[in-house]
Amino acid sequence: MRQFASSGFRLWNLGIEAKVLYSAFCVLTFFGVVSSALYYGDLVGTGTRGIRRYYAGEDAPAAASAGDGAETTAGPAIEVPEEVERAHPPIVVAVTYRKLLEVTHFHLFTMPVVLLIVGHLFLATGLGDRAKIVWIVAASASVFAHLATPWIVRYAGGGLAILHALTGAALTLTMSVLTLYPVGAMWRRRPPSSRTEARAP
């Protein structure tokens, strides 16, 4: 921690053991971000229709009709007469307040910690100050927005489902940069300009 407190600290000054530790953390965090995106896509379906169904309980007419070609993964296929399926479309229920609160509660205690750690590592790279500000602000805003949009979709309507998809894409992009860029920065050789600054009185 003393190294991070110094104003001139950069990741390439770390010892090999610290580089291995921080690299493992960043790479595993990146895989966590990717797995979350994959899990979310599998959970709610493709596009905004899945978001509308999961959070707002709204179903598109095409989803309720038979023979739409959508793949299902829940249980064995059962032959149901077409007229019965039209008369009794699948029940779509919005996510409950308690479930939404549970998920938000968990993410409010994990996402800020991850953002804080990878943000500190990102700030210790040789990237310019303006670029650092842009990426840190973008990552922070995407975390805030992605935690808020499920509530917006649930209580303001499924028409805003696109917001959750957009914030999810922004979160994936910004967190990928904040986790992968520091790994490259800590393992590459120290830039010549930094060596000159280190020798300067």
Q: What is the pLDDT of residue 170?
A: 93
Are the C-beta atoms of residues 12 and 185 closer than 8 Å to each other? yes
Spatial CA neighbour of 176 closest among 135, 141, 148: 135
Distance of CA 53 to the CA centre of its chain: 20
Residues of the chain with pLDDT under 70: 1-9, 40-47, 59-93, 189-201
In whole angstroms, give the CA distance from residue 121 to residue 57. Answer: 40
**Terminal CA-CA length for the chain:** 24
Fill in the DSSP letter of residue 9: -
The residue with tokens 């899990």 is: 39
In whole angstroms, give the CA distance from residue 22 to residue 127. Answer: 18
Are the C-beta atoms of residues 9 and 124 closer than 8 Å to each other? yes
Q: Name residue 128's amino acid.
A: G
Q: What is the pLDDT of residue 173?
A: 95
Q: What is the pLDDT of residue 85?
A: 53
Q: Name residue 33's amino acid.
A: V
Q: What is the pLDDT of residue 189?
A: 66
Spatial CA neighbour of 55 closest among 131, 140, 163, 138: 163
